[in-house]
Chains A and B, each alone.
Chain A
Amino acid sequence: MARRLHISTFISRLTVSLLLLVVAQTSMAQLKMFRMEKDSIPFFRGFAVSFDLAGPAMLMLSDHGEYEGALRINLHDQWFPIVEAGLGSASHENDEVTQITYKTRAPYFRVGMDWNILRKKHQSNRMYAGFRYAFTSYKVDIIREDLPDPVWQSKAGFGVKDMPCSMHWAELVFGIDAKLFGPLHLGWNVRYKRRLVHDDGTVGNTWYVPGFGTNDGDNLAANFNVIIDI
């Protein structure tokens, strides 16, 4: 089947291209990105925990979203290994057009690294570029009752309960943190997500994948984080 292109796909590609351009130009301007700066600042600079506000907002405003937190290590204000975990859920009941019900609720995990791409590393505000590897294993309920057969006029509804599915994906991340006061930072990041391996179960496709968003070859998302240095 021919690949279907959508406006969101074009916008995703455009955004990723622009992000890569920014990262590449910044990197070219400072080839010292991967080299530790020679100064008296210690290598280990502590931890930070963060909580995303965009996912809960999505949950309140729509039928799917995530609760997500992260633990990040600060290495010399340059490198930031990070582990993210979240709980994604969708509850789309009896769609008004298709009468389909879709439910899922499952945890997801990401691991990766951010780089501070600002020239002056040891300031309280930061700009990041990074990557993630992510995974989720989830179960979905997909129910369509009384699906009418247009020719034979029979009712042919179906329902699958707790159908096991999984997905592995990679993410490119670009983000900014700004220090408010004390240990408190605010920041946002945009993420280009690319599906790597997926098992969509036995009825074709799945719709919402926890942590990834609506299922497609790729996806674009954003987080708005409250960050606390510890």
Chain B
Amino acid sequence: MKPREYRHSAFVKGMYLLPLYFLAFLLFLSACTSIDCPVQNRVYTLYDLKKADGTNDTLTNDTLWVWSQRVDGTDTVISRDRQSTLELNYFHGSKAYSFELPISYTQPEDVLYMLLRNAQGKNYVDTVRIKKENIPHFESVDCQAAYFHEITSVTTTHNIIDSIVIKNPNVSYGAKTAHFYIYFKADR
């Protein structure tokens, strides 16, 4: 039996305009393209200064310099603002209870030199060695590639640093908690 034919309503006749609707929709979609990159896209390590009893420590009247060596062998400053690669940067005062340091992209081990000058002007230098796994990280073709890291060990000399412990081995975008607790000797 032949199917019954229905009269076309105005709505169904309007369906013949489908290609126009579709083009309008494509234009609408193309206007909505967004770039999905994280706002916080720095990868760095966070150090908290601690006393032996677990409370926060500060540098008070002491000053701490941190530096490392570039691959080509020259010293580089690695500190909060990285304004210069020639001048030493430092952390100083009662508000210096925590600090950030960058971490190399692909070196298997970062070697940091920490120099602490106390209120009497006496200098103590320690060498900190951080071993890590380097994990390439991709977000999108629109976002810069990066490296995340898993810290596997940390060792230090003990001229002024009593110990360093790993609190969070995973280093990725935007550190929210400390990766290391660093304990300076109390009699500095």
A interface residue numbers (CB < 8 A to B): 1, 4, 6-8, 11, 40-41, 54, 92, 95, 97-98, 100, 102, 120, 122-123, 125, 142, 144, 147, 149-154, 156, 158, 160, 176, 178, 186-188, 190, 202-207, 214-216, 220-222, 224
Q: Are B76 and A152 in contact (CB under 8 A)?
A: yes
Selected from A6, A95, A144, the residue in CB contact (under 8 A) with B36 is A6
Name the residue of chain A whose CB is nearest to the CB of B39: A4
Stretch at the interface among B47-55, B91-99, B141-149: B141-149
Stretch at the interface among B103-111, B119-127, B154-162, B180-188: B103-111
Q: Are B18 and A154 in contact (CB under 8 A)?
A: no
Number of interface residues of B (CB under 8 A): 49
Q: Are B38 and A1 in contact (CB under 8 A)?
A: yes
In the complex the two chains form, what is the Cα distance from A97 to B37 in whole Å?
Answer: 13
In the complex the two chains form, what is the Cα distance from A102 to B141 in whole Å?
Answer: 7
Q: Are B138 and A203 in contact (CB under 8 A)?
A: yes
Q: Are B18 and A186 in contact (CB under 8 A)?
A: yes
Task: Indicate whether A220 sits within 8 Å of B107 (C-beta atoms), given known contacts A123-B6, A147-B145.
Answer: no
Q: B21 to chain A: which residues have CB within 8 Å?
A: 188
Nearest CB of B to A126, in Å = 9
In the complex the two chains form, what is the Cα distance from A221 to B25 in whole Å?
Answer: 10
Chain B 28-47 per-residue mask, 1 if CB under 8 angstroms from chain A, else 0: 01001110101100000000
Q: Are B1 and A40 in contact (CB under 8 A)?
A: yes
Name the residue of chain A whose CB is nearest to the CB of B106: A156
Residues facing A in B50-75 (CB within 8 A) are: 68, 70-72
Q: Are A100 and B138 in contact (CB under 8 A)?
A: yes
Q: Are A144 and B70 in contact (CB under 8 A)?
A: no
Task: Indicate whether A1 sits within 8 Å of B6 (C-beta atoms), given known contacts A11-B32, A100-B138.
Answer: no
Q: Are A7 and B34 in contact (CB under 8 A)?
A: yes
> Would you list the 8 A-B pairs with minimal beta carbon distance, nearest first?
A156-B105, A158-B136, A144-B145, A6-B34, A156-B106, A149-B105, A204-B137, A178-B15
Q: B144 to chain A: which residues have CB within 8 Å?
A: 98
Q: Are A205 and B105 in contact (CB under 8 A)?
A: no
Interface check B10, CB cutoff 8 A: no
